[in-house]
């Protein structure tokens, strides 16, 4: 793992390019954001964004989603991978939000993680995006790049999150988005675009193409 000062210097490059990054998922409110995050598991944001506008047009609250019913939810999201299981999670989550939380998404990690389809990463994303908390969500991009760029010595999402949580809040607030976008468009797993990499001076990877 690099020294924190060096990690901050690396992240400063992203900060200069995009000081206020955000999710590429389409959403209208906290509930639709939560649904979109659940749908994005093992799926692309682009694929999710193709399906959700029609769904959110008819069901943008827990009550509306619950009233829509399981089978109709499936119809709206059938182009998304694992849609059967995701539909069940969204339907049950909506029911619980209506019955136990007054139809509101709870601003509480423990309560969020008790919802169907919501794990630590999903909770971290919604706390970060909707409530602007400096929580660090570790997905496959973050896990891969944390190792590649020596941002962490961890091998698991929790250990990588613990290392990145040592960063000052101003970096923790955006580090997930910076790394996701960087991993999605530049430092791709199969063919990293090293020629257009803004942090090449920090990279010592063996497969570096510069």
**Residues taking part in catalysis:** 121, 139
**Cβ atoms 88, 116 nearer than 8 A:** yes
b (16+ CB within 10 A) / e for 105-129: bbeebebbeebbbbebbbbbbbbbb
Q: Say how many Å lie between the first and final Cα of the chain, rounded.
A: 22
Count other Cβ atoms within 10 Å, centred on residue 143. 20
Tokens of 185: 């468009």
For 38, residues 6+ apart whose C-beta sits below 8 A from its C-beta are 86, 89, 90, 93, 117, 118, 122
């Amino acid at each position: 793992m690099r020294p924190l000062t060096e990690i901050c210097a690396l992240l400063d490059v992203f900060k200069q390019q995009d000081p206020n990054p955000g999710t590429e998922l389409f959403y209208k409110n906290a509930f639709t954001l939560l649904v979109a995050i659940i749908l994005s598991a093992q799926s692309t944001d682009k694929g999710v964004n193709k399906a959700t506008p029609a769904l959110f047009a008819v069901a943008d609250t827990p009550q509306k989603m619950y009233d829509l019913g399981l089978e109709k939810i499936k119809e709206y999201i059938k182009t998304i991978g694992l849609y059967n299981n995701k539909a069940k999670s969204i339907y049950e989550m909506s029911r619980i939000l209506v019955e136990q939380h007054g139809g509101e998404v709870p601003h509480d990690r423990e309560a969020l993680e008790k919802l169907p389809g919501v794990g630590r990463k999903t909770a971290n994303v919604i706390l970060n995006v909707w409530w602007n908390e400096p929580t660090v969500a570790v997905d496959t991009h973050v896990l891969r790049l944390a190792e590649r760029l020596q941002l962490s010595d961890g091998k698991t999402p929790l250990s990588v999150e613990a290392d990145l949580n040592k960063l000052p809040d101003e970096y923790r607030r955006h580090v997930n988005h910076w790394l996701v976008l960087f991993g999605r468009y530049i430092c791709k797993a199969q063919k990293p675009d090293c020629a257009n990499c803004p942090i090449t001076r920090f990279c010592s990877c063996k497969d570096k193409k510069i």
